[in-house]
Amino acid sequence: MPEVNLVTAEDLPASSDHEGEAAFFDVDNTLMKGASLFHVARKMYQKKAFTLRDAAGFAWKQAKFVLRGETMEDVHSVRDTALVLAAGIPVETIQTMGEEVFDEMIESKIWPGTLALTQQHLRSGRQVWLLTATPIEVAGVIASRLGLSGALGTVCEIEDGHYTGRLVGDILHGPAKAAAARELAAREHLALARCWAYSDSYNDIPLLSAVGNPVAINPDARLRRHARDNNWPVYDFRSGRRAATWGLRAATGAGIIYGGWKGFGRIRRR
């Protein structure tokens, strides 16, 4: 499995009833609308780290991602472009940028319904982790700001305080997420059969299938079909409607999940 960084928040309130339980959340289109890496690219463009043409390419990929969901082709395309553009950038620049990106761009894109789920799990005494292909520097900021237990994310190679443009291991995506969850479960003494996982993407079925309580959020067409065939709960916060309810009370300790339509985000142009 790929190497992943752990970014851990303070310990959660103790709860013997839910000891050994955790909830794993994907980020892009699950916790937030669109792709978090796009907003990092916007911020880098604002800081003149790359050209308008590079920014336009990210904007086009973001528009496709919001409208149709992710594909492996898009994931690898964004990864490769981002690695090339990040080469030579100081680590401290990206770390500072992660804070700015959350405050200025990501916080307003978080789905209220998904955020409610994370907080309900925390109140129940469960650990809540982000598992995402998003760079660990950004994933860690999101987890910290939301008061979650921590984050597993993609790790970029660093030499002499600068990014090299290469990955450590591979991107944390698809089957790699399931492997990371198993490793985390072993480290944190979690019972996966009593854990939850949330994602929007068919590519995350290995992660969803690894836990006892899989939930589809804002699913793409293939994941929606798979969830229906396997009687998994489905929530679609893009339209504010509750698509399915089976099992969610057990997952969250409450049956009221809210969400709303906020419209598609504008793509700023210069």
Residues with active-site annotation: 26, 28
Distance from C-alpha of 195 to C-alpha of 21, rounded to nearest angstrom: 5
Assess contact for 101 and 43: CB atoms under 8 A. yes
**Backbone angle region of 34, left / alpha / beta, with phi > 0 → left and psi within -120 to 50 → alpha:** left
CB within 8 Å of 181: residues ≥ 6 apart: 24, 131, 192, 195, 197, 207, 210, 211
Question: Who contacts 172 (Cβ-Cβ below 8 Å, separation ≥6)?
Answer: 2, 4, 131, 132, 133, 152, 153, 154, 180
CA distances from 3 to 36, 129, 189 (A): 20, 16, 19
> CA-to-CA distance for 105 and 70, rounded, in angstroms?
20
Helices then strands (H, E): number in the chain? Answer: 10, 9
Please give the Cα distance from 13 to 74 (Å, whole number).
39
* 198 close to 11: Cβ distance less than 8 angstroms: no
What is the C-alpha to C-alpha distance for residues 76 and 84, in angstroms, rounded to an integer? 12
Which residue type occupies 262?
K
Strand-pair category, 234-235 with 213-217:
parallel
